[in-house]
Amino acid sequence: MFQFRFDSLLRLRESERDAARQEVADGHQAMGILQQQREDLEQQRQQLRDTAQRRMSEASISVDTMLNQGRYDVQLAAEIQGIASNMAAVEKEIERRQTRLQAADIEVKRLERLRETQQQQWNADQLAAQQADLDEIATLRFARASRNQGAHRWD
């Protein structure tokens, strides 16, 4: 039976590849969460601006209310900017993880090709050994048959 000599190394590399694949998926999930947070904040900011526009059209408007809305708008803008910078950092991390995943995948494929090549060589060696055995059996039968025919001729 064929036994791949580097089977434990292949399993280790497969495990590393799977872990790298999970890390990439986690990075994409984090990016999705950040995008959702950014969209929520942008929506809040738009609602704040819409409310401010409505209040501006009213006859009586409070300066304190306008200042508070302005401060809140600035705060939302700062939070959106912070999320944007986090998204850029997560994007770089995803790229780094994808590079690591590609390297791990290449290593797994390299070991799988080596296993396949060694399996084919082992199969060829087994076939050659079986053929040699069959050739030897055929030669012995032929020699025995020749002796038996030769012994019958002298009778």
Among 22, 23, 17, 28, CA closest to 91: 28
Q: Is the pTM of this model over 0.85?
A: no
Contact 101, 24 (CB under 8 A): yes
> CB-hemisphere CA count at 13 Å for 75?
8
Going along the chain from its start, the domains and CATH numbers come out as: 7-115 (1.10.287)
Give the mean pLDDT of 36-48. 96
The average pLDDT across 52-70 equals 80
Q: Is the pLDDT of residue 134 over 60?
A: yes
pLDDT of 48 strictly over 70: yes
CA dihedral (136, 142, 145, 149) positive or negative: negative
Token pair for residue 89?
A: 């950092």
> Which H or E run includes 103?
helix 63-153
User: Rounded to an integer, what distance in angstroms lies between the CA atom of residue 127 and that of residue 53?
Assistant: 86
Query: Is pLDDT above 80 for 59?
Result: no
